[in-house]
Structure 1
Amino acid sequence: MPASQAPMAAGTRPPIPATVWVLGLVSLAMDISSEMVQTLLPIYLVTELAASALAIGFIEGLAVAVAMVTRLFSGVVSDWTSKRKPLAVLGYGLGAVSKPMIPLAGSLGWIVAAKALDRIGKGIRGAPRDALIADTTPPEIRGAAFGLRKSLDTVGGFVGPLVAIGLMLATGGDILTVFWIATIPAFLAVALLVVGISEPAQPAAPAKERPRLAAAGRLNRTTWAMIAVACLFTMARFSEAFLLLKSQEVGLATAWVPITMVVMHAVYGLAAYPVGRLSDRTGRMGPLAISLVLLLAADLVLAQAGTLLPFFAGIVLWGLHMGFSQGILATLIADAAPAQLKATAFGVFNLMTGLTVLMGNIAAGWLWQAHGSSATFLASGALAALALLAFLLLRETWRPA
């Protein structure tokens, strides 16, 4: 019997299923690998391949959009086949294979190809992984379960940049060596997923049809409203690559640039799980509204930051924003979507937000190149304020499934 279905005494909360812990550890290992690469890649692109801020915005936005489009198809297929694990293994496997492509790349085009393959893998694994958490977790601890996975994921985001810093100092700033070593935890993540997860049986539909994107049309009105607000939300929060570029602007040496992500992920990881537990008791809407206020504050601080102290104050606020939002967004989709369409709902959610991330990152890169970093952060703040207004309107009509 899955842990989520075990009987429990009256008045007690069930434990978080082992499946959620394993998925969190898989995310941790893969994120260590990814962050070792991502915290240095923007600097590598600028210093070694002469990429502009606009090019970085396009690459980052395209990578996220590819992942999100892939998630739609992955979610539909996962619901149609009633299988989650095979798609998750495929997705994490592609992410691992993409890692050695980065140090082998000799041009910007190969970097784009490697990022695209990595994001395709991320897209394939995301919806079935989140649906697997929803499948195995009782509704009364769902916020804690999604928050726990996010917290473990962000531990990887904390450890990865620390490892990158240590390796940069030990190798005299040899970025390519860091990229090569980053392949190790990626393949360990795939191995853990293969041996550590036993997928629970899913009820089969009475008569199965081919997977159709039209299944998205059967999502309820509440799910679509949440997706619409999330699009504004993600338009406001552009790629963390721009935080890394800002760190150099305020005076961080190249070897220490990853400390930006160490601080951000430390705050993010410490916040995500307790915020998820809090949302199980008090509701999802309050923490999400707070997250938008935190994003607005982070943008205003970072727009004016010219030295390290205000810069890191902005990074702390950014991390708190992430901790108050990322697990909650996924939980709201799980709460709103019909049971037989949860993976499809996650797929549509990620498709729509991915397209807005693409537009947001291109706009952020253009503003940075044309008007400087302050314009980029101020535009993000304006969108965060708009998203907060839209969210407050949604809050009045929210009806979970």
Structure 2
Amino acid sequence: MLLSPACCSSYLRHGCCSADTPQLHYHNLAFLILETRAAGASIEDTILIYSGFDLVAALVSYPKGFLSDRISRRDVLLAAFAVFFVAYAGFALTVNVVIVAVLFVCYGAYQGTFRAAGKALASSHAPRELRAGGIGWYNSLVGLTQLIASVIAGLLWDHLGHKAVFVYGAVFAVVGIVALLILVPAECRN
């Protein structure tokens, strides 16, 4: 059964759109890899740094998902977007390979948190009988906005330089924070 407009108005208003709007800042990880290489990391070091990112994302997913079951999912996502903002602002401001590596690995905390808490928030606003369809809808919107963000980031990289990509990401992280504060009630819990 597909989500009907009547069934998903709350879901769209509080779950999917509010959690997904910030995804306009999230573009392909290739830009982080390119920035790591531009900062002077060798190919081997870049692979290790990317592995550190993946490890952190995997390690924080369960605890942050568990936390979002206990406290406001919105608050967990706000913290994730704050980490995203710091990481991307840092990428825009530094060329030091060690700082870039630390920021990339810390970015894994955002990624692991957003994957868990974002889906949980979207799921909590879908009607029980349509939850799988709601998660599918959410993932479709996330993928579409990531594609759009990657195209924009590529254009920025080509025409304004790599720093513009990370300023763009940091600005949209703030937009995401504002969207969550406006669109998702503070008491939005499991």
- Would you say same fold, with TM above 0.5? yes
Unaligned segments of structure 2, at least 5 residues = none
Question: Which residue in the other structure is 2:9 paired with?
Answer: 221
Q: CA RMSD in A?
A: 1.9
Alignment of 1:226-237 (within 5 A): 226-237=15-26
Q: Is residue 301 of structure 1 aligned with residue 120 of structure 2?
A: no
Among 256, 274, 294, the residue aligned to 2:45: 256
The letter of the residue matching 1:223 is Y
Q: Is residue 346 of structure 1 aligned with residue 146 of structure 2?
A: no
Name which one, 1 or 2, has greater alpha-carbon Rg.
1
**What is the alpha-carbon distance in structure 1 between the residues aligned to residue 77 and residue 114 of structure 2?**
5
In the TM superposition, structure 1's runs of 4+ consecutive aligned residues that sit over 3 Å from their partners are 397-401
Question: Which residue in the other structure is 1:270 paired with?
Answer: 59
**What is the alpha-carbon distance in structure 1 between the residues aligned to residue 187 and residue 143 of structure 2?**
23
Question: Which residue in the other structure is 1:320 paired with?
Answer: 109
Aligned partners of 2:73 and 2:188 also within 8 Å = no
Instruction: Give deviations 1:312-369, integer Å, cap 9, x for gaps.
Output: 1211331111122110111112211111111211122122222211111000011111
Among 119, 140, 148, the residue aligned to 1:330: 119
**What is the alpha-carbon distance in structure 2 between the residues aligned to residue 397 and residue 243 of structure 1?**
32
**What is the alpha-carbon distance in structure 2 between the residues aligned to residue 243 and residue 286 of structure 1?**
26
Larger relative CO (CA 8 A, sep 6+): 1 or 2? 2
Relative to structure 1, the CA distance from residue 219 to residue 258 in structure 2 (aligned partners, 3 Å threshold; closer, same or farther) is farther
Question: Which residue in the other structure is 2:153 paired with?
Answer: 364
User: Aligned-pair distance for 1:303?
Assistant: 0.9
Aligned partners of 1:219 and 1:345 also within 8 Å = no
Question: Which residue in the other structure is 2:34 paired with?
Answer: 245
Aligned partners of 1:291 and 1:321 also within 8 Å = yes
Relative to structure 1, the CA distance from residue 305 to residue 268 in structure 2 (aligned partners, 3 Å threshold; closer, same or farther) is same
Alignment of 1:173-192 (within 5 A): none
The letter of the residue matching 1:334 is S
**What is the alpha-carbon distance in structure 2 between the residues aligned to residue 310 and residue 219 of structure 1?**
46
Instruction: Give deviations 1:118-158, integer Å, cap 9, x for gaps.
Output: xxxxxxxxxxxxxxxxxxxxxxxxxxxxxxxxxxxxxxxxx
The letter of the residue matching 1:219 is C
Relative to structure 1, the CA distance from residue 397 to residue 216 in structure 2 (aligned partners, 3 Å threshold; closer, same or farther) is farther
The letter of the residue matching 2:12 is W
**What is the alpha-carbon distance in structure 2 between the residues aligned to residue 248 and residue 400 of structure 1?**
41
The letter of the residue matching 1:283 is S
What TM-score results when the alignment is normalised by the length of structure 2? 0.90
Q: Secondary structure of 1:258's partner?
A: helix
Q: Secondary structure of 1:340's partner?
A: helix
Relative to structure 1, the CA distance from residue 216 to residue 355 in structure 2 (aligned partners, 3 Å threshold; closer, same or farther) is farther
What TM-score results when the alignment is normalised by the length of structure 1? 0.45
Unaligned segments of structure 1, at least 5 residues = 1-79, 81-212
User: Aligned-pair distance for 1:251?
Assistant: 1.1
**What is the alpha-carbon distance in structure 1 between the residues aligned to residue 4 and residue 111 of structure 2?**
27
Q: Number of residues paired by the alignment?
A: 189
User: Aligned-pair distance for 1:272?
Assistant: 1.4
